[in-house]
Structure 1
Amino acid sequence: MASRILTRFWDPSGARYGIPTYPRHLVPAHLLTLHQLAARGLRPGPQGAQAQALWRGRRPGPPRVRAVSLYDVRFALPKRTPSPRRRTDIFKISRTCPECLIDVGYVLPRHLGVCLDCTEEVAA
């Protein structure tokens, strides 16, 4: 039975599924999932999914085929990291009330534009 499943999901040319397809445990070493790329500090970059891995799910109920997209590690780029200065500037601006000029310790509601204390003062 296992060999039938392996043959069902073996399509490296992409003729049957439209994209190269492999059984889950027979994926070439240069193809990785998004989680595997992230663990190596990489992101897919401009490439789309290069292949897919299929396997039969084990949940109860009707048999389901599970899939995961695979990306070529040779075309992957390093992960982007936001600059610390920009992050702190945005963080401070969105926490400082423009009315009372106090860092309130939470992100200001965009629809109010001021802290909750200033909103209550205006409403009263």
Structure 2
Amino acid sequence: MGRPCFWDPSGDRHGGTPTYPWRMAPAGLLTRRQLRARGLRPGGQPVAGQILWRSRRTTTGVRAAYLYRLTLAKPVRPMTPGRAAALAKANAARRTCPECGTDAGYVLPAHLGTCLPCADAAELLASGCHPQAVAA
């Protein structure tokens, strides 16, 4: 069985929210990802439970996934032409370099803020080397 500290189907120890260990949620309660895989969304329903598990990725050492009732889930809203255009525009902005203005063909690294050729050129200039001198 899972960790006993995470087994609380009545919610007495976890603020009234039924809590289950990893892979121990009852049938009929699904996470957002599980709903999405079935073409569904929570649809405004309240959280029906949670799954808790230990993890070193957080400062508290515990991660959570919220559960929703399958019977109350609604179908995913269809993609409208306006939403598709807005999504395409947002993705294009993530690929466009602010320095040279070209579409890099990939999402620009956030830590660089530019495409890789522009970042390399800036690094060479900062180190005192001129890009044309290096190319020769």
Q: Which runs of 5+ in 2 are unaligned?
A: 94-136
Aligned partner letter, 2:73: A
The aligned length equals 88
Task: Give the C-alpha shift of residue 9 in structure 1.
Answer: 0.4
Normalising by structure 2, we get a TM-score of: 0.55
Task: Give the C-alpha shift of residue 46 in structure 1.
Answer: 2.1
Report the counterpart of residue 49 of structure 2 in structure 1. 51
CA distances 1:23-80 after superposition (whole Å, capped 9, x unpaired): 01211121111111001000001202110000111x3897711111111111000000
Matched, 1:7 2:4: yes
- Given candidates 57, 69, 72, the residue that maps to 2:69 is 72
> What secondary structure, in the 3-state scheme, does the structure 2 residue paired with 1:74 have?
helix
Normalising by structure 1, we get a TM-score of: 0.59
Q: CA RMSD in A?
A: 3.0
Matched, 1:36 2:26: no
Q: Which runs of 5+ in 1 are unaligned?
A: 95-105, 108-124
CA distances 1:4-33 after superposition (whole Å, capped 9, x unpaired): x62100111111102000001211121111
> Which 4+ stretches in 1 moved above 4 angstroms?
60-63
Distance 1:61 1:42 in 2: 29
Change in Cα spacing, 1:38 to 1:15, as seen in structure 2 (3 Å) is same
